Structure formats: C-alpha cells, structure tokens
Structure 1
Amino acid sequence: MNRITLGALALVGPMSVTPVAMAQETRQVPPPLHYAVHHVSTPPAMDGRLDDPAWSKAEWTSDFVDILGGSAPTPKYKTRVKMLWDDKNLYIAAELEEPNVHAKLTEHDSVIFHDDDFEFFIKPVVDGESYYEFEMNALNTTWDLFLNKPYRFGGKADNSWEATGLKSAVHVNGTLNQPDDTDRGWTLEIALPLNSFASRQQVTLPGNGTTWRINFSRVEWLPGHEHEENWVWSPQGVVNMHVPEQWGYLDFRK
C-alpha cells in the first residue's frame, strides 16, 4: 500500500483504509513522544533562517524516523523540528537535510505532497475527533485542511479552512531547482495563530500545563523509488498519518 497522507486519502476516498485493514497493518510502536514547548516574550522573526535568538530557547526534537517505526529503515536524510509559543502563535521551525532541493507547485492549496514537503497535523481539542493539517514545499507554497474526523471513520477533508494569519518562510541552503550541484537542505519557520481554528471549532487558548496532540511528516520522493517516503517525528506504526492516537503530545510550558 502506498504511503498515505491526508491529501492522498482525500483523492482516493475514505474506503482506502478500513478499520480492519488498519488493525492488520499496524505495527507495535513505542508510546507517542512528548515535546515541551516553551513560552517566549519575543517571538522569532519569520525569515526561514532559524538564527533568531529566540530559537536558542527551544530544544530540537529527535530525528524523524520512518512512519512505520520499529525496524523500518532509517530515513536517508535527517529531519528535525523545534517549537515555541507566545500568547498569539505557535512557532514551528524545521531543518530538512536535502542534497537536491526542488519544488514546482506554486498555487495555494495545491496537493503539496506531489513535491517533497513538510507537514504538520495538530489536534487542539484532544477529546474531540477533528484536527487540522498543514503542508508546505521549498517554494513556501502551502495547503491547509480541516478534518472533522479520521478517514477510517468517515471523515471528510475540508479544503475551505484557512489558517487565517498564518505566516511561513523558507530558506534554501543551496540552490533551488538546480540538480547539477549539491545542496545542504532547507529550513522553514511557521507562525500558526492560536485563534486560527475558530472558524471550525471553539479552542481554548493554551496555558501552562495545556496539552495538544501533534505530529510532523516529511514526504520525500527519492530518485528511482516507486513510492514516496514518509518520515515522521512520532511513528504511526501504520502507513497512515490519520491515526491521531499515535501522534505526539505537545506540552505547553511557561
């Protein structure tokens, strides 16, 4: 079965992954990871470079692993994330090792995972069924989506949701779309407004001790491979990002 992201399931329909299939294909994985995100008074500038002093207050996550976890092969290229927050935004920074940074999609709400991309999935109402997804490529082209519930339970993708006020930026450490040289990779920054969920559900603003669910995915199209790779922070145990119970925990700290 192909490695499936939210957008892919939106194209093929919710019947592509049934509860029975999920049960058969899920591997045993360790408990979901935790990340303590610290509050800052001065936010980082959104330029994609990650050299802002604010980022020195944030720890890197562990390196991404294959979506299946366990004994699955180690990803070919390194990926890691760090986060901060203030009273207005959740800030996400990512570092993606890549010897040939390339992207072609330029239209907002394109199917971004047709390029190499970076994705996050976030569930601010932990006891509810709904959640949000955001994808971006090295051209800083973005796609934001809302899911009322996971596909395997009949969920529908809502492309009309917009993360109003979101800011993102990319810095390429090399040359974009130049395959005849070797790049080091690309870095990105995202500022996600904490009130951007309001058009779909009421979300209480986080405080010290609040916990949300979150996970990150990197889609990589390796030359000569039939299918894309999915590398993630907290392994899913199944080729499906839409199993929120396997996502990591985002623990807000002041």
Structure 2
Amino acid sequence: MKLIFIALLHLLSSSFSGEPLPNDAPLRYVCYYTTTAPQIDGILNDECWKKAPWTASFQDIRGKDFPKPTYNTRVKMLWDDHYFYVAACLEEPYIQGTITQRDAVIFHDNDFEVFIDPDGDTYLYYEFEMNALNTIWDLLLVRTYREGGPALNGYDAKGLRSAVYIDGTLNDPSDIDKAWYVEIAFPLDVLKELNGNRKPAAGDQWRVNFSRVEWHTTIVNGKYIKEKDPISGKTLPEENWVWSPQGVVDMHRPEMWGYVHFSK
C-alpha cells in the first residue's frame, strides 16, 4: 500500500510539472491564487506573475512526434475572487497584425487563443482569440463543431480585459523583433455561468487549452504576405501550436484539453 501511495504521489508531481504524461495525455498546471491583481498592460513584471510558473513550451497540435514549433510559446495562469488571469510570451521575429474589428475571424492573422470548459463536460465552452493589435474575438460553443455546433458568435464576455506588449515593432519587416506578450483577465462572474453558477474554489479543476496560429509569410514591397504553394497557388496552411496536444488538427476536442488545478 505504501509503494502504491508513493507511486501516485510521483505521478501527480510529474503531471503538475508541465511535462507530458505517457501517450501525450492532457497536460496539467497548478494555478495559484493571488491576493494582488496584476495590472493588465501586457508587461509581465508584476510580483504575482514572478511567482507563477510557466507552462511547458507549446508543441505541434498533433503531439510531440511532429515537428517542434519554430518559435517558443509559454503561458502563466493565476486566479483571485474576480478573475482568471492568463499571460503568454510568444517569441516572434516578425510581429504582424491586420485585423482591427472585434469578433472578426482573428486566426486569419497570427494569433493567440484560449479555450475554457469549467465543468469539463465538453459542452457549452468558451473560446477567446486575439492578435498582436489586441483585437479580440470571443464566442461560446454549445457543442463541438463535429457534433454540429453551433457557435454563438455574438457572445461578449462582460468585464473582459486584455493587453498586448510588443518587444519589437509591429508590421515593420525592416527589423527583427523578439516577442509579443499578452495579458488577459477573464471575469469569473461570466465564466461561472458555464459551471453551474459556481466560481472556482481551491481544489477545483477546469479543462483549458491554449493555441497559437502562425502563418507562413514572406516580405513583398515592405509588407508581410502569406506564402503560396508554387504548384497549386493556394495559401500555405497555417501552423498550429498548442499547450496540451490534441492528437489532430482540431482545437475543438475539449476532452484533450489540459487540466488547470486551482490552488491556494
């Protein structure tokens, strides 16, 4: 019995460290409670962020057996009585963005995405996307697309706050950039509606995942242009990099999202 208990402790410890479980099982992250809210400005120098660990680096959406992403991406999470906080660092030598209209299809730009299913039942979950211009798109999915949807595109999370900080220059191909940072405060008063009207408490866990869409671009006349296949003439497909791998190119498989464990 003692050996079984020790083995279970070891498994839990490794799964919360951000390292993959066997067979690319969903990753895990301990989300710590903060008594001091971060300033939502995209600059991750708040004391609370310094205490929050980074996730493991993103990998190909299909899993670790596929090519490693060209640029590194990592995420941090925190929570308090009012918000679920997410911060991310997206390394990128060519920071770019064109979409300025809220609730447009943001992944037509390079973007950062968050998926949240608080009760983990794979139904009625929340999707959020943003680009380097801090243009956002948020929506609800009643069911996954493979089950017929639908997506409630007119949904806006009241009280949501987000910010971007760019370590470089936006839409300037003449130099090499370092990274763009995002910071998001998701209001718990909104997310609790997806969880039986319950805010998270210590010991709870949510199903969460993060995605980064990266297009292949080239520079033409001082502008970023999406690359095309030389034979078909079609735009090359985007890269999809995620925290917890999905096994297929489809973010809408909530059963594969990571486990976020709320802790005080």
- TM-score grouping bracket, smaller chain normalisation: 0.7 to 0.9
Q: 1:55 aligns with which of 49, 52, 63?
A: 49
Q: Which residue of 2 aligns with 1:45?
A: 39
Match of 2:137 in 1: 143
Where does residue 160 of structure 1 map in the other structure?
A: 154
Which residue of structure 1 aligns with residue 242 of structure 2?
232
Letter in 2 for 1:161: Y
Deviations 1:25-67 (CA, angstroms, capped at 9, x unpaired): xxx9421000100000001101101111110120000000000
Greater relative CO (CA pairs within 8 A, separation 6+): 1
Amino acid at match of 1:174: G
Residue 3 of structure 1 corresponds to: none
Q: Which amino acid aligns with 2:256?
A: Q
- Counterpart in 1 of 2:87? 93
Match of 2:224 in 1: none
Which residue number in structure 2 is paired with residue 219 of structure 1?
213
Map of 1:5 onto structure 2: none
Percent identity over paired residues: 54
Question: What whole-Å deviation, never above 9, does each CA across 1:105-156 have from its counterpart, x for those lacking one?
Answer: 0110010000000001000122352211000000000000100111111110
**CA-atom RMSD in angstroms:** 1.4
In the other structure, the counterpart of 2:259 is 249
> Which 4+ runs in 1 deviate beyond 6 A?
none
- Structure 1: stretches of 5+ with no match in the other structure: 1-27
Question: Which one of 145, 169, 187 corresponds to residue 163 of structure 2?
Answer: 169
Q: Provide, for residues 139-188 of structure 1, a one-character-per-residue CA deviation record: whole Å limited to 9, x for no partner.
A: 00000010011111111000121111010000000000101100001001
Structure 2 CA distance for aligned equivalents of residues 75 and 193 of structure 1: 31
Letter aligned with residue 206 of structure 1: P
Give the one of 172, 185, 188 matched to 1:191.
185
Among candidates 111, 118, 121, match of residue 124 of structure 1: 118
Name the CA distance, whole Å, in 2 between partners of 1:120 and 1:247.
11
How big is each residue's C-alpha offset from its partner over 1:177-213, in whole Å with a ceiling of 9 and x where there is no partner? 1011000010010000011136667431111100100
Unmatched runs of 5 consecutive residues or more in structure 2? 1-21, 218-226, 229-235
TM-score when scaled to structure 1? Answer: 0.86
| Matched AA of 2:86 | I
What TM-score results when the alignment is normalised by the length of structure 2?
A: 0.83
User: Aligned partners of 1:130, 1:33: CA distance in 2, in Å?
Assistant: 21
CA–CA separation in structure 2 for the residues paired with 1:209 and 1:168:
27
Computing the radius of gyration from Cα coordinates, the structure with the larger value is 2
Q: Does 1:69 align with 2:79?
A: no
> Any conservation in 2 of the 1:29–1:237 contact (CA below 8 Å)?
no
Q: Are the counterparts in 2 of residues 96 and 186 from structure 1 also a CA contact under 8 Å?
A: yes
What CA distance in whole angstroms lies between the structure 2 residues aligned with 1:128 and 1:202?
14
Aligned to 1:34: 28
Aligned residues: 227
Distance in 1 (alpha carbons) for counterparts of 2:87 and 2:175? 25
Tell me, what secondary structure is at the counterpart of 2:146?
A: helix
